[in-house]
Structure 1
Amino acid sequence: MYSRICSAAGFTYPAVLAMVVIIGIASTSAQKSWTTIVKREKEKELLFRGDQFCKAIESYYRASEDKKKGNYPPSFDDLLKDSRFPAVKRHLRKVYIDPMTGSNDWGMIYTPDRRIKGVFSKGQGEPLKKNGFSVRYSHFNDKVQYSEWKFVYTPVK
């Protein structure tokens, strides 16, 4: 009877050790997929926020056609509160935070007279999404950094 108890007692330690290894491997793979999910969500948010800036610049530009043709906004403040008209017009609800950097310090694309015609993220990561963009942003295909995703309003002539 004593020999049977001793031989069974040595089995517990390797079994627990194997379980710890299996749990470690499973948590590592879960971490990798969680990181991918978070990165995809940040990319979707970057596309949404960049598009909001682009639409706000377009709205500002079109609203100025009856004043001076083709004015781009001089700053984000003018997108938030356009006081060129008797009633204040808001082209953008708020200055969005760049989801890739966590700050509202966006890269700016200026016209020759220093007016904003577009924005881009200063994030240097490599995008997961490489193609399948909407027609408006088809130039994002095959870009290797988020900073290459330029959200620019170009008026149709």
Structure 2
Amino acid sequence: MPTGKSAQSGFTYLFVLMLIALIGMGLVAAGTLWSTDVKRAREAELLFIGDQYRQAIRSYYEREPGQPRLPQSIDELLEDRRGVEIARHLRRAYRDPFTGKEFVLIRSPDAQGITGVHSPSDGRPFKVSGFSAENGAFAEATRYADWQFVFTAPAPTTPVAGASTGAPAP
């Protein structure tokens, strides 16, 4: 059985090994928390950017109330030249925070223009509740590509047959 200095160096060696193992476990835990935090920040950025696109499409649509129409491209949201002054409904063409690629455009069923955008990412979202009213459908989404930021144009109002026109009844 070793005595003296050689016995002490064995305990020191074990202590250093345990310390390195504890530091490694701490770094793994910190890395996991960091990656989760980064993913949540990217989700928040995706929600912000998607809302920016939705608001830009709404603004473009409502610019000429007598003749509302949807944009044909993102460039029209960046520079709307329909009026006397150039309108900028969108500050810049944003990229998807998860993939770095351009957003996928959602076209209207009748091909009259762009109604929204969605992410090309197939990642699984952390956020599954607590969405705004406009984004309420995102609660059932299984991937980020299912988060579709769509502007729904109001239905045209047509007078109902037999409805009062405001004139007094005979």
Q: Which position in structure 1 is the counterpart of 2:131?
A: 133
Measured in 1, the distance between the counterparts of 2:77 and 2:51 equals: 14
* 2:104 corresponds to 1:107: yes
Shift of 1:155: 2.3
Aligned residues: 153
CA distance in 2, matches of 1:110, 1:126: 24
Larger Rg: 2
CA–CA distance in structure 2, aligned partners of residues 9 and 92 of structure 1? 67
What is the letter of the counterpart of residue 124 of structure 1?
D
Separation (CA, whole Å) in 2 of partners of 1:97 and 1:126:
18
Tell me how far 1:114 sits from its aligned partner.
4.7
In structure 2, the residue matched to 1:16 is 16
- Give the residue type in structure 2 aligned to 1:136: E
TM-score w.r.t. the length of structure 1 is 0.93
Conserved 8 A contact 2:70-2:112: no
3-state DSSP class of the match of 1:141?
helix
More helix by share: 1
Q: Which consecutive residues of structure 1, in runs of 5 or more, have no partner in the other structure? A: none
Q: Secondary structure at the match of 2:106?
A: strand
Partner of 2:119: 121
Moved segments of 4+, more than 6 Å: none
Look up the match of 2:83: 85
SS at match of 2:20: helix
Residue 53 of structure 1 is matched in structure 2 by 53
Quote the residue 2:34 is aligned against: 34
TM-score (norm 2): 0.86
Structure 2 portions without partners, runs of 5+ = 156-170
Identity of aligned residues (%): 39
